[in-house]
Structure 1
Amino acid sequence: MVWRFIFASILTVHAAVKSPSDSRCKNLNISLTQKIDNEGFHRELNWLLERSVNSFQCKLAIRLDVGQEMFINPDQIADLNRLGHLSVLIAGDVDVEAPAHVATEHTVYVFVPPFKEKVSLKVPFHLRYQRAQISGGFGKVVVNKPSVLAICPHSCGKIEVKAPCDLTNRVTCGWNNVSYQALFDEVELLVPVGDLDDYPLVSIVTLLLGCAGCIYTLSVLSTTPL
């Protein structure tokens, strides 16, 4: 019984010593507001990240897993990085022309500028065309909830996420997936889809226009003097 009491006391002391570090990593007093602007297929994610001064020692990044129904344009992001508006890394191949049913998912890391209590980040994204269906209608696009990653100088225990350290993507770092206050609801967007009932009409009109274009081109070529 005595040995059990001593062993339990050691575990309690160990937990008391370990918990402050874990607590600092899990509760950095971070809040994130999300708003989606613009209409149609070209949208913009507006994030407002607020942090306390005691979290300035930690390096932060926002991770967003982008589903098949949407994409982040690498060329557009490259321009924003070059101009200094954002610091974003896209992990994964992005085919900007692919429809939703053949597209692949990718991940975006948005590195948060240091030493600022409030940071506004605007990330453009695009919705993909979805497979046509009978009677048309609208398809649903769910915008995944972002994660907030942190690297802090004090120990945080187990490393939860292996991710790029910076834009160079040459080295991976051990990040901690930290808790934050989400000041937004889950977002579900609607995108129009084609109507299969219109397929015969569209095919006939397309064929007629193609034939008319060929006839006009041949008539112009036949009347042009050599």
Structure 2
Amino acid sequence: MFIFSKILIVFASISFAASNSCSFSVKIKQILHNEGFHSFFRNLTYNIEFLDEEDEPKPLFRSCVVGLDQTLPAGVFANPDELGDLRRVNKVNAIPKNPVNIESSAEQSSPTSVYVVGKVLGAHVNLWMPVHARYHKAAAGGGQTRTTLPPPRLHLKCPDARLDACDPAVARPVTFLCSSSLKDKCNWKEIQYVMITDTPFWDVPIGNTDHYRVVSIGTALVITVGSMYVLKAILDYKNDNDKKYD
């Protein structure tokens, strides 16, 4: 009877722990910071909070790892070389999912994805990555074109099986950052969340084809004047040297 009671207590504890692990909510702030065309000025940041049923911080996931799958539309890209440099100095843990041609225009490009990974500290995690805007084809009248950055997919991986008992509607098993051959050992879960910020967007200027003739003439004049100045400087230098040795 004593052993049976202990077994019941253990099962009750496991059931309580599983229930406690599954009763949480996640809120995300996704913000595109600063102004400018390139990543020296523009960072896409994520502030992720784990909360209990009363909207209070829930530090139950401090040993877990968050993985974001961020889709970038054709007009925006993350530079793989830049991400690699930031990973080497432990500033950003972001990995491009697709090959990226950083030289192609928006019209010649396709959407890409980037994985952004970080460890939960207490009841929150802050992640970020640098992003660039692509050049767009010039159009009559010029102006701006708006690129909207969609919300990411959120994944959570814990060192134990605390999320395995959760309803798939709360924590759906997925294959994320692991090969199909290791699918049985891949314990990532896709987590539903609430986005509490407006969808970020990027207004990118585009060229005005109506200015083509003026720009072409101005460019030709600048090249001509610059070339003449350089030739004059070369001739003056040559004449000065000739006088020294006469």
Please indicate the TM-score interval, normalised by the length of the shorter structure.
0.7 to 0.9
Secondary structure of the residue that 2:192 maps to in structure 1? strand
Secondary structure of the residue that 2:66 maps to in structure 1? strand
Equivalent residue number for residue 195 of structure 1? 208
Identity of aligned residues (%): 27
Shift of 1:160: 5.8
Q: Is contact 1:30–1:49 with CA below 8 Å preserved after alignment?
A: yes
Indicate yes or no: 2:128 matched with 1:122: yes
Equivalent residue number for residue 149 of structure 1? 155
Equivalent residue number for residue 112 of structure 1? 118
Deviations 1:30-55 (A, max 9, x none): 21112221012131112111123333
After TM superposition, the runs of 4+ consecutive aligned structure 1 residues lying more than 4 A away are: 21-25, 156-161, 171-174
Deviations 1:114-151 (A, max 9, x none): 44312222322111221111111110111111110123
- The amino acid of 1:199's aligned partner reads Y
Residues 22/211 of structure 1: CA separation in 2 closer, same or farther (3 Å cut): farther
TM normalised by structure 1 equals: 0.75
Equivalent residue number for residue 80 of structure 1? 86
Equivalent residue number for residue 59 of structure 1? 65
Residue 95 of structure 1, aligned match among 84, 96, 101: 101
Number of residue pairs matched by the alignment? 202
Indicate yes or no: 2:75 matched with 1:69: yes
Secondary structure of the residue that 1:163 maps to in structure 2? coil
Equivalent residue number for residue 40 of structure 1? 36
TM normalised by structure 2 equals: 0.70
Between 148-157 and 102-111, the greater mean CA deviation after superposition? 148-157
Q: Is contact 1:46–1:122 with CA below 8 Å preserved after alignment?
A: yes
Shift of 1:165: 4.4
Between 95-104 and 122-131, the greater mean CA deviation after superposition? 95-104
Shift of 1:187: 2.2
- The amino acid of 1:47's aligned partner reads Y
Shift of 1:58: 4.4
Report which of the two has the higher share of strand: 1
Distance between the aligned counterparts of 1:149 and 1:94, measured in 2? 23
Instruction: Please list every run of 5 or more consecutive structure 2 residues that lacks an aligned counterpart in the other structure.
Output: 1-17, 51-57
Equivalent residue number for residue 12 of structure 1? none
Computing the radius of gyration from Cα coordinates, the structure with the larger value is 2
Q: Is contact 1:160–1:176 with CA below 8 Å preserved after alignment?
A: yes
Distance between the aligned counterparts of 1:220 and 1:85, measured in 2? 47
Instruction: Please list every run of 5 or more consecutive structure 1 residues that lacks an aligned counterpart in the other structure.
Output: 1-20
